[in-house]
Structure 1
């Protein structure tokens, strides 16, 4: 019962988050979109590579209850969550870094 309530709360908070977009002086929207798509592709590949380097080599390969010491989340002996379980967050960081390296900055969009 607690998990659905937390999920609903997170969705509501996400709906309140301000809209953002990348900007770079003199860059048309078409070029920005192409750069962002390219950075997302690069970031997804890199995050996937990193997740395989630090994650289990056996099924199920999914972003759930795996931990460093082999215990599941909430189980006795469960340890710290391994880094590969944060692939989505890492992909976001890598994509943002890629866009920054191309000269873009993330700004809030006026609604």
Structure 2
């Protein structure tokens, strides 16, 4: 491939016909403030699924810190993880509480 071929640049290891971005191929940029789900993570800490809810709480705090530093993508990703872990913790905790509440071998 010669240096004068179509789309070749010194920074590109391979030639390309077009380097222009397209609106149709680029996803729209979401600039809304991402949620950190801190209240949900705190509520999940009251469930008896302690390793999962603590990690969800940590991800929530990390999401809040990423947002304060201006990292919107990191805050959004960490917020989604915090929401998922907190939801799993709430559902798992509810199942555990119901299962042990109705168990005849548990003294309450």
Instruction: Give the TM-score band, short-chain normalised.
Output: under 0.3
Relative to the length of structure 2, the TM-score reads: 0.28
Larger Rg over CA atoms: 2
Higher relative contact order (CA 8 A, sep 6+): 1
Which of the pair is proportionally richer in strand?
Answer: 1
